[in-house]
Structure 1
Amino acid sequence: MDYILILILLSIFTWLYFFTRQLGRGKSGVATQLPPGPYPLPIIGNILELGDKPHHSLATLSKTYGPLMSLKLGSTTMIVASSCEIAQELFSTHDISFSSRFVPCAMMAFDRHNISMVWMPVGDKWRRLRRICKEHLFSIRQLDTSRFLRKQKVQELLDFVQGRCLSGKPINVGETAATTTLNVLSNYIFSTNLAQYDSPSSQEFKNMVWAMMEITGAQNLADYFPVLRPLDPHGLFRRSKRCTKKLLAIFDKHINQRLHARSTSSSDTSSKDLTDLLLNINKDPNASFSLDDIRHLIVIRCVKILMATRILSSLVQDLFLAGTDTTSNTLEWAMAELIHNPEKMLKAREEIKKVIGNDDRAFEEPDVSRVPYLQAVIKETLRLHPPVTFLVPHKAITDVEIKGYVVPKDSQIMCNLWAMGQDPNVWSDPQRFEPERFLDAEIDFKGRDFEFIPFGAGRRMCPRLLLADIMLHLMLGCLIHKFDWKIKGGIRAQYMDMTDKFGFTLKKNMPLMAIPVEL
């Protein structure tokens, strides 16, 4: 009898959901129908259909249900965009309506979702932090000022690679790129290195940065079933809290040292690095943010390339988290694609050699504008392997009608960049690594060409695009100009593992271990 009752209840739930999804237009003539999508199971909805590679499974589903698709995940409605036309509707036509964030439970540790520029909703505080990033951190003037710093850190990268070349030992390309990026950021922020190549003492810091990115991208039942949040079924909130606490302690130490030095020094306290600049802004009686704000901003910029008071540490955390992993992963994918396609590697290297000529020097920033093929290699890498597969998830502020369907308020908005990069209606032979497709096409990744938005578009576009662009070209150019590369274990290039592993950032399934060979 109990089984019959359960079957009856499941049937009722299924019928009710089917009925609500099939509602057409109301009497007012306004669309009330959700976008099409697979029918959900009772209670859990479509969670099982995501699989371990949601970017692949959702791309497959979009072939059946279209580029604007809805799924039910527990109590959450997820809307998935898989075409440039729908992306433009979301992030241009209706940008303000989708400018809020769907915040994972794990990111609520230490109330980060209310003080982090990445997760807080659009408002006066967010605009102030965004303006600080745009005018003081990643402006063309600031990037020009820090050019020597990047040159110095890339030279340290080359020295490390040269040592491995002499010893014949392999390099973990992604981890090495992350160390370089972390040190660029940490010197930009604190005027010191926070990571060392092959150093156990700095490995813990890098591990915490990577752990935070892994936690951010992990699937969590508590995100879709609010009743489970106090239970923290996957332990992600606890892990996030531990990592955040450790990162904040590191950043607080440096911030407090700077505050002490400034209080005991009679010398000029004009801006020397980001910490000084932000502390100078905070001294302004008209400043509209606190040290807490600064703390959290710095953390996010240093886990996307790898959190004294809460906004300085929050700013720091934002900077580290959002900068490290994304840049190092893209560099690793670019190197893997060039090794996997040796004719492309040769073409990019010959272009660099032609620009540098007979000068015995490394590839430098002024050379980037003169190497269109290398630029095309970076673009093609970003198309095939977008750094953040679904972008940072957005949330609908209100009901919005798109293409005759309603995107309901509070729904989670996911833009499947991987699927968009595989669209045969936009890209010919989309699974092939073909940088040449960008040589004659005036397509850029600055948020205007919606078929190619690896850094997002609209209000929530990544503010560190210019720095990422510079670092990717500079590191890749230097690594392929001076060295050839062989796969560890003598694996032939055509047999490399080129599969991906889903997370907040799109990683290689197998890390790229390569041996540098001096040219």
Structure 2
Amino acid sequence: MAISFLCFCLITLASLIFFAKKIKHLKWNLPPSPPKFPVIGNLHQIGELPHRSLQHLAERYGPVMLLHFGFVPVTVVSSREAAEEVLRTHDLDCCSRPKLVGTRLLSRNFKDVCFTPYGNEWKARRKFALRELFCLKKVQSFRHIREEECNFLVKQLSESAVNRSPVDLSKSLFWLTASIFFRVALGQNFHESNFIDKEKIEELVFEAETALASFTCSDFFPVAGLGWLVDWFSGQHKRLNDVFYKLDALFQHVIDDHLNPGRSKEHEDIIDSMLDAIHKEGKDSSLELIIDHIKGFLANIFLAGIDTGALTMIWAMTELVKNPKLIKKVQGEIREQLGSNKARITEEDIDKVPYLKMVIKETFRLHPAAPLILPRETMAHIKVQGYDIPPKRRILVNVSAIGRDPKLWTNPEEFDPERFMDSSVDYRGQHYELLPFGSGRRICPGMPMGIAAVELGLLNLLYFFDWKLPDGMTHKDIDTEEAGTLTIVKKVPLQLVPVRVQ
């Protein structure tokens, strides 16, 4: 009898708590939400370009929306004011990461930094990254590598210029950023290494990005393991694991090479810095680095650093070639400021060409390489623009929609670098209308290194070459059609004919 009475009391108490929460939730002012279907929620409204679909929905339902991706509620932010509240006002309360399938595998295999949920371990790793790997002094120490690789690119393009043959600039710029990464991070010369195959590296970057961005049932239907079973039968888990095995083999090979006592090196790369930190870890008990942490840092740089820099340069060149007057203007400033007989561009030349910096800013605005900031997850109840966002709620910030907001930008669909003339707006996370690298605690730590490569690469392309279109094409034939999900590429590769001016 006593046991029955106790069970009755427990059930009653649980019911009261449940209904109390329900009543409390009914009082919440949740963001507006488009109509949804049972089970799939709003997934049917997300097309091949999610950032575009979300932008169109925001135009109808407002800059703070509540969508349901399967069974998972997601808050989508598409205005400067709302982004500032998420990334600055409530940064501490929503700077964690949701545990998605791809990122869980990344964390499990590589002890990554970017996708790790917020906590003391994440803070210690990030502090180390900013202090030892991505600080200004470290970025400047790799200057000679960026200059040498850009010089190598100029040499290759000059050979093509002899025959006036078109080059796939999309591929050339990918190889430029990849070669810089391999020397800076891995200590491997992309052009001389015996085990690095250019085509396979490009394929691996594509596979990894596709795997992380692909639809995964487990992420949207976490019910009784059903989503996991669907992913297992569809082969999605196998594809993810295969990618991580390939990355692991690549990173393990170069780490073993660094551990070889007879290894000769031309400079201290990122692996050297981290191995040195492991040997000295007793001085900082909060860090406790192991080899898997090295792989985590490398995976983050590999996935976020190679493709994004190349894409920014490709979109910049696409917009410039589409506008003959604009490319003549920026080249005129560059050649006037640097003279007409430089044999080689150095990073000291970058500060002499402010118009080029405006071109890069405008490229970040109109064509952010990652149009949706990697998802965050709230750790506490917050309010954004007056709407309630409960704990454990995923948040997406649509950087692309903010960059094309007509309330912020005049003629937002036009590529106009001069909009940044006499403007204090910058891309370093303090101005929420321009967020190509995010902001707050989760801002991209590799921003200085990425910017350095983009600025120097574009400066070389525009100083040494004039750019013509293949026979039969005019500047009006160049399209800006997009493709991709995690990063946005130019759907049709950019092919141009380089004409050496010196």
TM-score, scaled relative to structure 1: 0.86
Partner of 1:40: 36
Judged with a 3 Å threshold, the aligned counterparts in structure 2 of structure 1 residues 203 and 169 are, in CA distance, closer, same or farther, namely same
| CA-atom RMSD in angstroms | 2.5
Alignment of 1:146 with 2:128, yes or no, is: no
| Conserved? CA contact 1:270–1:276, under 8 Å | no
Aligned partners of 2:192 and 2:482: how far apart in 1? 27
- SS of the residue 2:356 aligns to: helix
Partner of 2:397: 415
Please, which of 254, 268, 271 is the counterpart of residue 272 of structure 1? Answer: 268
> What letter corresponds to residue 437 of structure 1 in structure 2?
R
- SS of the residue 2:496 aligns to: strand
Judged with a 3 Å threshold, the aligned counterparts in structure 2 of structure 1 residues 358 and 110 are, in CA distance, closer, same or farther, namely closer
Partner of 1:135: 131
Q: How far is 1:383 from its partner?
A: 0.4
Q: After superposition, what is the alpha-carbon deviation per residue over 1:481-510, rounded to whole angstroms, capped at 9, x for unaligned? A: 111222345321112121111310111111
- SS of the residue 1:178 aligns to: helix
Alignment of 1:444 with 2:426, yes or no, is: yes
465-474 or 82-91, which deviates more: 465-474
376-385 or 131-140, which deviates more: 131-140
Alignment of 1:352 with 2:334, yes or no, is: yes
Aligned partners of 1:220 and 1:186: how far apart in 2? 30
Partner of 2:7: none
Aligned partners of 2:165 and 2:318: how far apart in 1? 18
Partner of 2:242: 242
Q: After superposition, what is the alpha-carbon deviation per residue over 1:187-234, rounded to whole angstroms, capped at 9, x for unaligned? A: 11232224689x993211221012111222223333201221233165
Partner of 1:465: 447
Aligned partners of 1:71 and 1:225: how far apart in 2? 14
Partner of 2:468: 486
Partner of 2:412: 430
Judged with a 3 Å threshold, the aligned counterparts in structure 2 of structure 1 residues 465 and 104 are, in CA distance, closer, same or farther, namely same
Q: How far is 1:260 from its partner?
A: 2.3
Please, which of 372, 375, 380 is the counterpart of residue 354 of structure 2? Answer: 372
Which consecutive unaligned segments of at least 5 residues does structure 1 have? 1-24, 293-308
Alignment of 1:160 with 2:156, yes or no, is: yes
Alignment of 1:454 with 2:454, yes or no, is: no
| Conserved? CA contact 2:175–2:198, under 8 Å | no
Which consecutive unaligned segments of at least 5 residues does structure 2 have? 1-20
Alignment of 1:109 with 2:115, yes or no, is: no
Partner of 1:19: none
Aligned partners of 1:111 and 1:200: how far apart in 2? 25
Aligned partners of 1:83 and 1:291: how far apart in 2? 39
| Conserved? CA contact 2:110–2:299, under 8 Å | no
Aligned partners of 2:192 and 2:177: how far apart in 1? 11
280-289 or 504-513, which deviates more: 280-289
Alignment of 1:170 with 2:166, yes or no, is: yes
Judged with a 3 Å threshold, the aligned counterparts in structure 2 of structure 1 residues 191 and 29 are, in CA distance, closer, same or farther, namely closer
- SS of the residue 2:428 aligns to: coil
Alignment of 1:256 with 2:253, yes or no, is: no
Aligned partners of 1:30 and 1:338: how far apart in 2? 52
> What letter corresponds to residue 339 of structure 2 in structure 1?
G
Kindly report which structure 2 residues correspond to 1:497-516, keeping only aligned pairs within 5 A, or say none: 497-516=479-498
Aligned partners of 1:359 and 1:271: how far apart in 2? 30
| Conserved? CA contact 1:109–1:237, under 8 Å | no
Q: How far is 1:361 from its partner?
A: 2.5
Q: How far is 1:437 from its partner?
A: 0.2
> What letter corresponds to residue 463 of structure 2 in structure 1?
H
Judged with a 3 Å threshold, the aligned counterparts in structure 2 of structure 1 residues 401 and 360 are, in CA distance, closer, same or farther, namely closer
Partner of 1:59: 55
Identity of aligned residues (%): 30
Partner of 1:17: none
Judged with a 3 Å threshold, the aligned counterparts in structure 2 of structure 1 residues 390 and 219 are, in CA distance, closer, same or farther, namely same
> What letter corresponds to residue 61 of structure 2 in structure 1?
Y
Higher relative contact order (CA 8 A, sep 6+): 2
